[in-house]
């Protein structure tokens, strides 16, 4: 296997793992809501504890002798803006979960897969290769199966919840696109801290009475730690390392690991039912991920493969 192919596989695996970590969020949010917390409090907890986790990690690195990189005011603002983008996803997605099941909400969020391909075409003028187009089409089909849209309950979906779920997909695709372009030369932990600080701005805007509400004393911190770790710390670090080396379309395809992981967790932890069609959809989605990597799994031809350029 050519070095270029190995690098693409390596960075794709990091983005795949980052996407899978997002799958923990839906079930955690459902638990927090069932425990009596408001969705706005949950939305504010994620960036707060994400910031704390990154701050602790940065302090550990400082004690180890690794100094942070000096940032310009413009660089700080760009990272804060990136954080606003990812918190927009959190706010929209958390609200959608109050109206929809985990399977449906996560499937709507999952539309970022093909939206990312569209952003790649519009902004970069780079046409997706054959494998990326085939993978996007396969994943879209698998998404329709996994969503439960063919079930009898589909007609009862809340329209506002569906709209917020779809908008969360747009903001996720934008985050993936910007993540590969903003602060990519910074150490991942330092970069993540500023991203989380930006997310806090929106988080506390939607829940201004967070600290006065007594949510922390009531135990929301345990959900905040999980959301901060799996919704910010892990994906922001892994996406920050992997996405700069991948086309936007391929990055969003690899992050599709979120849906299978999220549905499996909701089945085993929440006990949510999954139909045969939904299970088939998960298999199809994973098959689409494999298809997207075929150019890197097959033996390289002489020269640099076109798909890797």
pLDDT above 70 as % of the chain: 90
* pLDDT above 70: residue 309: no
* pLDDT above 70: residue 297: no
235-276 confidence digits (pLDDT tens): 888 988 888 888 777 787 788 787 778 878 878 887 877 778
22-64 confidence digits (pLDDT tens): 888 888 988 999 999 999 999 999 999 999 999 999 999 999 9
Q: Quick one: pLDDT band at residue 126, thresholds 50, 70, 90?
A: confident
Report d(CA 189, CA 68) in Å as an integer: 9
The answer to whether residues 42 and 207 touch, using CB atoms and an 8 Å cutoff, is no
pLDDT at 80: 95
The answer to whether residues 188 and 73 touch, using CB atoms and an 8 Å cutoff, is no
Identity of the highest mean pLDDT range in 112-116, 139-143, 157-161? 157-161
**What ranges do the domains of the chain cover?**
1-297
192-243 confidence digits (pLDDT tens): 999 999 999 999 999 999 999 999 999 999 999 999 999 889 988 898 888 8
pLDDT at 307: 45
The answer to whether residues 22 and 230 touch, using CB atoms and an 8 Å cutoff, is yes
Place of tokens 């135990």: 219
Report d(CA 131, CA 34) in Å as an integer: 42
Place of tokens 């959190």: 90
pLDDT at 303: 47
88-101 confidence digits (pLDDT tens): 998 998 899 888 87
pLDDT at 162: 87
């Amino acid at each position: 296997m050519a070095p270029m192919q190995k690098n693409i596989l390596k960075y794709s695996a990091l983005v795949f793992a980052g996407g899978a970590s997002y799958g923990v969020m839906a079930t955690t949010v459902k638990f927090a809501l069932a425990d009596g917390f408001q969705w706005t409090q949950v939305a504010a907890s994620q960036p707060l504890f994400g910031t704390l986790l990154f701050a602790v990690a940065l302090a550990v690195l400082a004690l180890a002798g690794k100094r942070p990189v000096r940032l310009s005011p413009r660089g700080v603002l760009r990272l804060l803006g990136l954080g606003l983008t990812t918190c927009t996803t959190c706010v929209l997605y958390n609200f959608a979960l109050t109206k929809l099941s985990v399977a449906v909400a996560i499937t709507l969020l999952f539309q970022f897969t093909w939206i990312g391909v569209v952003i790649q075409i519009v902004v970069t003028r780079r046409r997706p290769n054959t494998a990326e187009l085939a993978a996007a089409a396969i994943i879209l089909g698998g998404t329709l199966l996994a969503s439960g849209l063919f079930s009898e309950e589909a007609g009862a979906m809340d329209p506002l919840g569906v709209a917020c779920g779809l908008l969360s997909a747009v903001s996720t695709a934008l985050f993936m696109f910007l993540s590969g372009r903003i602060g990519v030369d910074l150490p991942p932990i330092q970069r993540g801290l500023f991203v989380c600080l930006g997310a806090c701005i929106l988080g506390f805007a939607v829940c201004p009475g967070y600290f006065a509400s007594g949510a922390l004393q009531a135990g929301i911190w345990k959900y905040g730690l999980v959301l901060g770790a799996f919704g910010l710390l892990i994906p922001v670090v892994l996406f920050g390392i992997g996405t700069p080396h991948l086309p936007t379309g391929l990055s969003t395809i690899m992050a599709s690991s979120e849906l299978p992981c999220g549905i499996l967790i909701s089945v085993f932890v929440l006990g949510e039912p999954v139909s045969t069609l939904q299970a088939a959809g998960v298999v199809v989605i994973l098959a689409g991920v494999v298809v997207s990597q075929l150019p890197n799994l097959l033996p390289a031809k002489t020269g640099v493969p076109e798909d890797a350029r």
